Structure 1
């Protein structure tokens, strides 16, 4: 299947890799099918690209790589909707707002994308956890005073 993408032009994708969002994504409820594309081999950043149109195409990142104590609990309804059987079925990604310079970019940790990798089902899950924001700075900058004696 050939699709047009925002960052990679026209590409060939495998239909079996398409991730279905039964309820769409907030703000894009009519868009149900997406694919994950990597910017580079083993790169930190990926694109969650609509298979239907060029937009939306979200830059996403694994939040656990940046926020070591990141956690939230999925409700039973979401577990059932996504047909999750075990924890390692789940891939969690955060939608980024990419800024210049890159170090000032933010990620939405309050509403991550939760994907059942086996079933290819996903949803944007609103955690309700006020510990995180929708514009969380994930590139924590160390202050000049840290480490000084």
Structure 2
């Protein structure tokens, strides 16, 4: 099927690539179907694009690339709701807030996207009792070393 996108114009997506967010995303409860579209050639950044509303597209990334020690637990209800059977079936992404210059961009580590690759069910999980921020500096280590 063809969809209109925020950053790529009209593209063709395959039904097998659609991610299903049963309850939508926080602030977007009616947006339940998204696709991840590569934004950069290296695959480090993607766009989580609504299949219905072209204006709803979030830049995402793999949080472990920028924060290798990123760690959190998923509650049993989420594991069950997403049908997760094995850790290897899970992909995690985080939504970015792009800034100018780009190295000032932040990542929402407090609400990661958890995706079950086997059934394409996904959910944005809001972590409680954590030190992770909704606007965690993406290039924090780079900034610290540049000041030092």
- TM-score, normalised to structure 1, is 0.94
Spell out the pairing of 1:13-52 with structure 2 (5 A cutoff). Answer: 13-52=13-52
Give how far 1:41 is off: 3.0
Find the counterpart in structure 1 of residue 139 from structure 2. 139
Query: What SS does structure 2 have at the residue aligned with 1:142?
Result: helix
Runs (5+) with no aligned partner, structure 2: none
Query: What SS does structure 2 have at the residue aligned with 1:133?
Result: coil
Encode CA deviations 1:67-99: one digit per residue, 9 max, x unaligned.
121100000000000000000111100000000
Larger helix fraction of residues: 2
Q: Is 1:97 the counterpart of 2:97 in the alignment?
A: yes
Encode CA deviations 1:18-57: one digit per residue, 9 max, x unaligned.
0000011010000100000001333311000000111210
Give how far 1:131 is off: 1.1
Spell out the pairing of 1:1-149 with structure 2 (5 A cutoff). Answer: 1-140=1-140, 141-144=143-146, 146=148
How many corresponding residue pairs?
146
- TM-score, normalised to structure 2, is 0.94
Q: Verify the 8 A CA contact 1:97 1:106 in the aligned structure 2.
A: yes
For 2:75 and 2:100, how far apart are their aligned partners in 1? Answer: 36
For 2:146 and 2:49, how far apart are their aligned partners in 1? Answer: 39
Larger radius of gyration: 1
For 1:136 and 1:40, how far apart are their aligned partners in 2? Answer: 21
Runs (5+) with no aligned partner, structure 1: none
Q: CA RMSD in A?
A: 1.1
